[in-house]
Amino acid sequence: MSNGRSLSAETHQAPETTTFTQDFLALIKIGIVNSNLITVFTGLWLAFQFSDRHFLQELDILVYTLVGSALIIAGSAAMNNYIDTDIDPLMASKKSRPTVTGRFKPSAVLALALSFIVIGEIFLFSASVSAGIFGIAGILAYVVLYSMWSKRRHVSNTIVGSISGAIPPLIGWAAVEPALGMGAWALFLIMFVWQPPHFYALAMKRTEEYRAAGIPMLPVVKGFHRTKKSMLAWVLLLFPLPFLLMDLGIGFLILATLLNVGWLALAIKGFKVADDLKWAKTMFIYSLNYMTILFVSMIIFAVFA
């Protein structure tokens, strides 16, 4: 449940050429669902590996958790679209959302969102009570704390939204090991710290859109230079976090550190570039690759740990 603006999730064809499937996938922000499922699965996988249990012997937990997580993330994303119906028409990048074009009626969106959330929670509670509780926490963090409260009121909205985006790996871990452990909280911290520089980069690209919609994103309120300083600080905070996962081995620590060094170098370069928006796009793309490579590598290194 990342606090969710994704290029892949929001770049769609003009309303008159979209199909029902395309509109539905836009409504549930399929890019957000897919990226969050990677972190859910990583939490699941690491919990299985570190507890010396085999997922093939507990496929029911795997299915309950992944299906349940997908449904609550999709439902929460649809709820976000429902809540933002009044401001999305003011943003060029969001005018093709089916809630804006009218292809999906608000009542239908609300019914679908609530149905997905309820059914998803049933699946998660079937995996473990702890997974279900963390699922509820993620929903409340994204729908209430971010979408309904902080997004329109506070410049810290991205940080508040990062809470929900960091919960999916906890859901995955809790389905296997309800008591959690250091590894689970390490995943939470990595996801929490990763999100501000990721979303600040996107916010820079859409500064004028957010300004028009009255959303107090950091680049709108504080400007680009202040945003770059914040992004640099958050990237620096990532450096010690992989060492909380030392059980994955030295290979993982080296890879994670190299990824951090690369992102740090790019962040520092931002203070010297002539084209801020081009740099922001590069930062955004790097952040997506960073998250994918880091979490996939955790899955691989856990096999050999």
Instruction: Give the C-alpha separation, 257 to 277, whole Å.
Output: 26
| CA-wise closest residue to 40 among 6, 65, 60, 57 | 65
User: Percent helix, strand, coil in the chain (nearest 5)?
Assistant: 80, 0, 20
Instruction: Give the C-alpha separation, 1 to 14, whole Å.
Output: 26
Least confident span in 10-19, 183-192, 255-264: 10-19
Element of type H or E holding 25: helix 20-27
pLDDT at 15 over 50: no
Instruction: Give the C-alpha separation, 262 to 281, whole Å.
Output: 15
What pLDDT score was predicted for residue 71? 98
Q: Are 13 and 96 in contact (CB under 8 A)?
A: yes
Vertex 21 angle, CA 163 and 100, to 5°: 65
Q: Which CATH number fits domain 7-304: 1.10.3470, 1.25.40, 3.10.20, 1.10.600?
A: 1.10.600
Range 142-166 average pLDDT: 94
| Residue 168, helix vs strand vs coil | helix
Instruction: Give the C-alpha separation, 229 to 24, whole Å.
Output: 38
pLDDT category at 16 given cuts 50, 70, 90 is: low
Residue that has been written with the tokens 């962040």 in this structure: 267
pLDDT at 172 over 60: yes
Q: Hey, what long-range contacts does 17-24 have (CB within 8 A, 24 or more apart)?
A: 18/96, 18/98, 18/103, 23/98, 23/101, 23/103, 23/104, 24/98
Residue range 96-108, pLDDT digits in tens: 888 888 888 999 9
Least confident span in 50-59, 160-169, 282-291: 50-59
More confident residue, 148 or 16: 148
pLDDT at 157 over 80: yes
What pLDDT score was predicted for residue 46? 96
Residue that has been written with the tokens 């309950």 in this structure: 64
Dihedral sign, Cα of residue 109, residue 111, residue 117, residue 122: negative
Instruction: Give the C-alpha separation, 257 to 131, whole Å.
Output: 30
